[in-house]
Amino acid sequence: MARNVAFAAIGLAALVCGSLSISEAAAQQRWPTKPIRIYTSTPGGPYDVIMRGMSVPLGQALGQPIIIENRTGGSFIPLADACAHAVPDGHTLCTSDSFAQSLNPLLFSRLPYDPDKDFTPIIFIGALNSGVLVNADLPVKNIQDLLAQAKAKPGRFSFATAGPASNSNLYVEYLRKEKGISFLNVPYKSFPQGMSAAIAGEVNIAMFAIGQALAQAKNGKVRVIAVSSPQRSIFAPDIPTLSEAGVDVAINTWIGMMGPAGIPRETVMRLNSEFKKLLADKSIMDKYVMGQGFEPTPPSGGSPEELAAFIKADQSNYAKVVKIVGLKPE
């Protein structure tokens, strides 16, 4: 009884001060009242592993179970659609990334969701940066040498790509159209196929997530000569970035937490706070985030506003690249 009176007094004080509406005060007292569902993508994929690794401590902190639900499908559209149209009460969240927020609006003339209006940013988790790997027999010293030779002799070097919207294809076409550096573009169905081709010597160059690229380099059949991140990778601080070689765009994917538009501010900030604690836990970061190849680059662990600003910059970056490359929406 005393506890209920105390809650009522807190809510009344907030209303008197004008800081909360009646509905917001009620939501703050009650949330969460049931299990929290998090939509993510492919079972066993990096987003899924990260969310399942965080689900138990997050559930303990919030006092409700966390249910991870996989929504698979092309370009993350079913996942984003389900999240965008969920009830905005803080009981449904989702992972999001560069495809859902930045690339899809440029690749599809019609989407079942609006990336600018249908989501509530919560927190940025990390970026998945790529390594540029070359076959060990390729006679180049470093990334600057590779770009210089490719510019001097167009089409001399073959570069494995993985579909029109892949970062490998976007880089190859951007370099050709913006920098006058031409590689022989060899399309594969997936990044692993392209990497395997580079290892086997079928192509000269490929791109792959930096952690796995470095693991493959240990066998001596490939070398990693650059990373795609704006700053040097935590995994490979001695390897230069593409930007250091004069490539003035960074094309990477990332993972962030979102919810449908309209989640009460108090709930958003509570979620942000709890996820921030998880990202500050070294055991969780090492095993589930960095263990999946993601790096805590800025604005990892930041505010919802920092995630929103990051997405705007990411959208602008992709719009620039897609325009130069000439991809047309379907």
- pLDDT of amino acid 2: 42
Phi, psi of 313 (to 5 degrees): -65, -40
The mean per-residue pLDDT over the stretch 160-183 comes to: 95
Question: Are 82 and 223 in the same domain?
Answer: no
Q: How many helices (H) and strands (E) does the chain have?
A: 13, 11
Domain boundary (183, 216, 245) is at 245
Give the CA dihedral 221, 226, 229, 233, nearest 10 degrees: 70
Is residue 24 in a domain? no
The CATH number that applies at residue 165 is 3.40.190.10
Residue whose entry in the numeric block shows the structure tokens 């976007």: 170
Question: Are 314 and 261 in the same domain?
Answer: yes
- pLDDT of amino acid 11: 43
Q: Assess whether pLDDT exceeds 90 at residue 161.
A: yes
Least confident interval from 5-14, 119-128, 289-298: 5-14
Is residue 234 in a domain? yes
Question: Are 260 and 239 in the same domain?
Answer: no
Question: Are 209 and 142 in the same domain?
Answer: yes
Is residue 28 in a domain? no
Question: Are 72 and 215 in the same domain?
Answer: no
Question: Are 135 and 241 in the same domain?
Answer: yes
Which amino acid is located at 190 in the chain? S
Domain boundary (225, 245, 265) is at 245
Helix (H) or strand (E) holding 15: helix 2-17
Question: Are 137 and 229 in the same domain?
Answer: yes
Total domains in the chain come to 2
Under the banding of pLDDT at 50, 70 and 90, the label for residue 75 is confident
Residue whose entry in the numeric block shows the structure tokens 């969310």: 51
Q: In terms of Cα–Cα distance, which of 271, 128, 137 is closest to 212?
A: 128
Share of the chain above pLDDT 70, in %: 91
Question: Are 120 and 259 in the same domain?
Answer: yes
Question: Are 138 and 216 in the same domain?
Answer: yes
Is residue 22 in a domain? no
Q: How many CB atoms lie within 10 A of CB 70?
A: 17
Is residue 228 in a domain? yes
Least confident interval from 57-61, 108-112, 132-136, 249-253: 249-253
Q: How many Å from the N-terminal Cα to the C-terminal Cα in the chain? A: 60
Domain boundary (201, 221, 245) is at 245
Under the banding of pLDDT at 50, 70 and 90, the label for residue 22 is low
Under the banding of pLDDT at 50, 70 and 90, the label for residue 277 is very high
Mean pLDDT of the chain: 91
Under the banding of pLDDT at 50, 70 and 90, the label for residue 306 is very high
Give residues with Cβ within 8 angstroms of 51, minimum separation 6. Answer: 38, 40, 68, 95
The mean per-residue pLDDT over the stretch 193-214 comes to: 95
Edge-to-edge, what's the strand order for the sheet holding 184-187? Answer: 184-187, 158-161, 205-209, 130-135, 222-227
Question: Are 119 and 143 in the same domain?
Answer: no
Segments forming the whole domain that contains residue 113: 35-126+254-325
Question: Are 121 and 61 in the same domain?
Answer: yes
The mean per-residue pLDDT over the stretch 49-66 comes to: 98
Separation CA 238–CA 285 (nearest Å): 22
Under the banding of pLDDT at 50, 70 and 90, the label for residue 30 is confident
Q: How far is CA 178 from CA 188, 282, 293, in A?
A: 23, 41, 30
Is residue 275 in a domain? yes
Partners of 216 in the β-ladder: none
Separation CA 119–CA 144 (nearest Å): 41
Is residue 26 in a domain? no
Question: Are 122 and 258 in the same domain?
Answer: yes
What pTM was estimated for this model as a whole?
Answer: 0.87
Q: In terms of Cα–Cα distance, which of 248, 228, 251 is closest to 240?
A: 228
Phi, psi of 171 (to 5 degrees): -65, -45
Q: Assess whether pLDDT exceeds 50 at residue 7.
A: no
Is residue 69 in a domain? yes
